[in-house]
Amino acid sequence: MSLLAVEGLTVAFPGNIAVREASFAIAPGETLALVGESGCGKSVTAFSVMRLLAPNARVTAGRILFDGIDLLAMTPAAMREIRGKQISLIQQEPMTSLNPVLSIGAQIAEVIRRHERVTRKAARARVVELLELVRIPDAARRIDDYPHNLSGGMRQRVMIAMAVACGPKLLIADEPTTALDVTTQSQVLDLLDDLRRRLGMAVLLITHDLGVVAQWADRICVMYAGRIVEQAAIGAFFTRPMHPYSRGLLGARVDVGADEHYSLNRLSEIPGSVGSAAGEAGCAFAPRCPLVVPGCRLAVPPLIAQGERAVACPVVI
Amino acid sequence: MTALLSVRDVHTRYGVGKQVLRAVDGVSFDVERGETVGLVGESGCGKSTLGKTILRLVPSAEGEIRLDGADITHLGARAMAPHRRRMQMIFQDPFGSLNPRQTIRTVLDTALKVHGQGDRGERARRLQEIVARVGLPADALDRYPHEFSGGQRQRIGIARALVLQPALIVCDEPVSALDVSIQAQILNLLVDLKRDLGLSYLFISHDLSVVRYFADRVLVMYLGRIVESASHATLWRDPRHPYTKALFAAVPSADPTHKRAAPPIKGELTTDLSAGCRFNARCPAATERCRVEEPLLRPVGEGHHAACHFA
């Protein structure tokens, strides 16, 4: 059974529907990447799972089943028991997610003591173990440091320590390395992957970087303008992306391994921008799509599953 | 023929309380006419400060900056004005670098007015040309920044840099804030402009893939110093400095079958500038010599320099 099953999730903000009929599932221990451009609804999807949506957002349809229980039907009190214990979240900017006036040790201990009955002393010992687990050197001393004493990469490690403190089954990582340098990025993602294996967590990895997806995820969900347009296993996706948007994304990306230079070849572009289809019926990608046919502008193409793969484009199937 | 831009042993320092931060610490390089020089490095390495120093937006403490052979290092504001027109900047954040209360026409026209370019009719014509040239709709001039998407705003930033017909443009992370599909549009535009207008770029970026595609020559910066410089083809085929190698190895490839090597370096950029090589604490190949003696940038091949004892 899936650990998490999102079914037909639709999230509306005043004047804007951010997520439309999104369905996907995550198996225990798996890393699923949720990919798309800014504003495509990937973070809103994650926040829906955490039940941390802004007050003006409304889930208008769908279910979010975690271990078979609908999170959307839970009381706020029951949800607080799940958040941080069964499902936790790390965000892009570790500086704004950490409390600047509390030591990092106190912040991690707070999570443990919120969910488990342990003494202060025992919690502190656990925090040192956790800091060692996320490979912060000299953990016993750094435990009393404040966020401003730490570099960006170290802060993100603290966030990870806090997120895994109670052994969650699902970790949602929302652009966990976007604010970090590339050498730090691979260290942090390797650490996350190692923890996933050791603790048997599933990871929902939200990113816009296809390189990160190729190297660290098992499956991918591509979102465009609030809808999931393609789902596939990593190998299949990168050998043969199907949806025109997925193809466009891979084509527009400059890969560090490819022998490309402006003097030799022009980058392939996806023309226009996400806003191009505002207010129009049919497929949201149609105004930018090289394969567009008249039918695309009539109705929204459904996500059609073929084995492990699903694509929302009748033209390529 | 002299280089368009020539930078010699430039130092830039910031006072941080009682301490002094040596953000740029003895950097020398040239940008030839029509050339794109890429400047890569991690955040905090001094690459943006170097860009601002060249444009005289922050003062340099030592060294010499020449534009078209003229020494502009110590020119006063009035004497600097004609040179400013020759070098412009494109910023990372197209949202933060445009005044939200000015129409695009005001933004662009101000630059021309400040530099006393043309009469009213001529300026209006120039603005229309430039807006079309960067791929914006003709009615863009009378709209405000918030009416544009991120990619379009970056086109406005490019138009503002171009309107004075500069020879050199310093691009500071011009595509880092943009989505992948928009990045390609902007990079293609910059390539076209360079070709059509004979521009030179100093292209500052932390993104190696983009620099690999876009630059003719690449400078790798670490803690205020250039640690390696080479033509783009040489650098990617044969990186010599351990830091450059580590940077390349850390970029995730979009090929899942491409096996990722374990991170070759540990830790993060520090500000520890004690004796020896600045990279030695993170370097997998550091020896006793690296802890004592600072390596200088020296030739290691045709047009290829590296600052490592073992390169």
- Asked whether residue A73 is assigned to any structural domain, the reply reads yes
- Asked whether residue A82 is assigned to any structural domain, the reply reads yes
State whether A181 and A270 are in the same domain: yes
The whole-angstrom distance between B38's CA and the closest CA on chain A is 13
Confidence of residue A20 (pLDDT cuts 50, 70, 90): very high
User: What Cα–Cα distance (Å) separates residue A194 from each residue in A96, A129, A136, A159?
Assistant: 25, 16, 15, 16
State whether A9 and A140 are in the same domain: no
Nearest CA in chain B to A184: B268
CB B94 within 8 Å of CB B179: no
A252 to B258: CB separation less than 8 angstroms, yes or no? no
- Asked whether residue A9 is assigned to any structural domain, the reply reads yes
For residue A144, the enclosing domain spans 94-167
Whichever domain contains A247, its CATH number is 3.40.50.300
Query: Which of B16, B181, B258 is the best mutation test for A, with the most CBs of A within 10 A?
Result: B181
State whether A163 and A178 are in the same domain: no
Query: Which of A136, A154, A178, A181 is the best mutation test for B, with the most CBs of B within 10 A?
Result: A181
B256 to A211: CB separation less than 8 angstroms, yes or no? no
State whether A229 and A191 are in the same domain: yes
CB A224 within 8 Å of CB A41: no
Task: Name which of A154, A257, A262 is nearest B191 (Cβ-Cβ).
Answer: A262
State whether A11 and A43 are in the same domain: yes
Tokens 């406005």 sit at which residue? Answer: B156
CA B28 – CA A43 distance, rounded (Å): 44
Last residue in a domain, options A107, A136, A167:
A167
B131-147 confidence digits (pLDDT tens): 999 999 989 999 999 99
State whether A173 and A136 are in the same domain: no
State whether A79 and A102 are in the same domain: no
Last residue in a domain, options A121, A148, A167:
A167
B223: left (phi over 0), alpha (psi -120 to 50) or beta: left
Residues of A in contact with B233 (CB under 8 A): 261
Task: Name which of B184, B216, B253 is nearest A269 (Cβ-Cβ).
Answer: B184
B188 to A271: CB separation less than 8 angstroms, yes or no? no
- Asked whether residue A296 is assigned to any structural domain, the reply reads no
The β-bridge partners of A289 are none
State whether A36 and A80 are in the same domain: yes
For A170, the token pair is 């699902």
B255 to A152: CB separation less than 8 angstroms, yes or no? no
Confidence of residue A255 (pLDDT cuts 50, 70, 90): confident
Question: Does B262 score more than 70 pLDDT?
Answer: no
B254 to A214: CB separation less than 8 angstroms, yes or no? yes
B149 to A273: CB separation less than 8 angstroms, yes or no? yes
Residues of A in contact with B265 (CB under 8 A): 183
The whole-angstrom distance between A213's CA and the closest CA on chain B is 8
pLDDT at residue B63, as a whole number:
95
A21-45 confidence digits (pLDDT tens): 999 999 999 999 999 988 899 999 9
Residues of B in contact with A277 (CB under 8 A): none
The β-bridge partners of A63 are A7
pLDDT at residue B264, as a whole number:
66
Question: Does A18 score more than 80 pLDDT?
Answer: yes
Strand pairing category for A170-174 and A202-207: parallel
Last residue in a domain, options A118, A140, A167:
A167
State whether A77 and A100 are in the same domain: no
Residues of A in contact with B188 (CB under 8 A): 266-267, 269
CA B105 – CA B101 distance, rounded (Å): 11
State whether A185 and A272 are in the same domain: yes
Q: How many domains does chain A have?
A: 2
- Asked whether residue A292 is assigned to any structural domain, the reply reads no
State whether A6 and A81 are in the same domain: yes
Task: Name which of A186, A250, A253 is nearest B263 (Cβ-Cβ).
Answer: A186
B255 to A214: CB separation less than 8 angstroms, yes or no? yes
pLDDT at residue B273, as a whole number:
66
For B189, the token pair is 């535009």
For A166, the token pair is 């109670």
A257 to B181: CB separation less than 8 angstroms, yes or no? no
Instruction: For residue A117, give every residue at least 6 positions away whose Cβ sits within 8 Å of its Cβ, in sequence order, or none.
Output: none
Mean of pLDDT values over A182-189: 87
Task: Name which of B183, B251, B253 is nearest A182 (Cβ-Cβ).
Answer: B251
Q: Which residue has the higher pLDDT, B97 or A20?
A: A20
The whole-angstrom distance between B281's CA and the closest CA on chain A is 14
Mean of pLDDT values over B294-305: 94
- Asked whether residue A303 is assigned to any structural domain, the reply reads no
State whether A193 and A274 are in the same domain: yes
ipTM of predicted assembly, 2 dp: 0.85
A55-107 confidence digits (pLDDT tens): 999 999 999 999 999 999 999 999 999 999 999 999 888 778 899 999 999 99
